[in-house]
Amino acid sequence: MPYSIFGNKFTQHSGITELMDDLNAGVQGGDDILMLGGGNPASIPDIEARLNDLMQQLLDEGKLFNTLANYDGPQGKNSFINALAELFNDLYSWNLSSENIMLTNGSQNAFFYLFNLLGGNFSEGKKKKILFPLAPEYIGYADASVSEDAFVAIRPKISELEKGLFKYNVDFDALKIGSDIGAMCVSRPTNPTGNVLTDEEIIHLDQLAKANNIPLIIDNAYGTPFPNIIFEDVTPFWNNNTILCLSLSKFGLPGARCGIVIANPTIIKAMSNLSGIMALSPGGIGPEIALPLVKTKEILTLSDEVIKPFYYNKSQQAIALLQEQITTPNFKIHKAEGALFLWLWFKDLPITSNELYRRLKEKGLLIVSGHYFFPGLDQKWQHTQECIRLNYAQDDDVVERGVAILAKEINALYS
Which helix (H) or strand (E) is 201 found in, with range? Answer: helix 199-211
Confidence of residue 13 (pLDDT cuts 50, 70, 90): low
Confidence of residue 17 (pLDDT cuts 50, 70, 90): low
The answer to whether residues 139 and 16 touch, using CB atoms and an 8 Å cutoff, is yes
Inform me whether the pLDDT recorded for 204 exceeds 80. Answer: yes
Q: 334: closest CA among 159, 153, 186?
A: 159
The answer to whether residues 169 and 205 touch, using CB atoms and an 8 Å cutoff, is no
Backbone angles phi, psi at 337, to 5 degrees: -115, -5
Report, as an integer, the average pLDDT of 8-32.
Answer: 62
| pTM of this prediction exceeds 0.85 | yes
Tens-place pLDDT, residues 42-94: 999 999 999 999 999 999 999 999 999 999 999 999 999 999 999 999 999 99
Inform me whether the pLDDT recorded for 109 exceeds 80. Answer: yes
20 versus 287: the higher-pLDDT residue is: 287
* Complete DSSP assignment for 102-148: EEESSHHHHHHHHHHHHSEE-GGG-EEEEEESSSS--GGGTT--SSS
What pLDDT is attached to residue 148? Answer: 85
* Complete DSSP assignment for 251-288: TT-GGG--EEEE--HHHHHHHHHHHHHHHSS--SHHHH
Handedness of CA 336, 191, 381, 215 (dihedral sign): negative
Tens-place pLDDT, residues 347-384: 999 999 999 999 999 999 999 999 999 999 976 899 99
What pLDDT is attached to residue 1? Answer: 76
Which helix (H) or strand (E) is 159 found in, with range? Answer: strand 157-160
- Rounded Cα distance between 371 and 357, Å, is 11
| DSSP category for residue 230 | B
What pLDDT is attached to residue 132? Answer: 98
Tens-place pLDDT, residues 177-187: 999 999 999 99
- Rounded Cα distance between 20 and 17, Å, is 5
What are the residue boundaries of the structural domains of the chain, listed by start? 5-43+301-414, 49-299
Q: 289: closest CA among 24, 39, 32, 52?
A: 52
Inform me whether the pLDDT recorded for 295 exceeds 90. Answer: yes
Inform me whether the pLDDT recorded for 265 exceeds 70. Answer: yes
Q: 357: closest CA among 344, 347, 370?
A: 370
What pLDDT is attached to residue 27? Answer: 46
Domain 5-43+301-414 has CATH 3.90.1150.10: yes
23 versus 377: the higher-pLDDT residue is: 377
- Mean pLDDT estimate for the chain: 94
- Rounded Cα distance between 368 and 342, Å, is 11
What pLDDT is attached to residue 125? Answer: 86
| DSSP category for residue 334 | E
Confidence of residue 143 (pLDDT cuts 50, 70, 90): confident
The answer to whether residues 375 and 384 touch, using CB atoms and an 8 Å cutoff, is no
Tens-place pLDDT, residues 317-345: 999 999 999 999 999 999 999 999 999 99
228 versus 124: the higher-pLDDT residue is: 228
Inform me whether the pLDDT recorded for 32 exceeds 80. Answer: no
Q: How many percent of the chain have pLDDT more than 70?
A: 95
Residues 6+ apart with CB under 8 A from 237: 199, 202, 203, 206, 218, 244
CA 404 vs CA 12, 62, 91: distances in Å: 34, 49, 44
Domain 49-299 has CATH 3.40.640.10: yes
Contacts of the segment 292-297: beta carbons below 8 A, 24+ positions apart: 292/54, 293/50, 293/54, 294/80, 294/83, 294/84, 294/87, 295/83, 297/87
Tens-place pLDDT, residues 239-255: 999 999 999 999 999 99
What pLDDT is attached to residue 181? Answer: 98
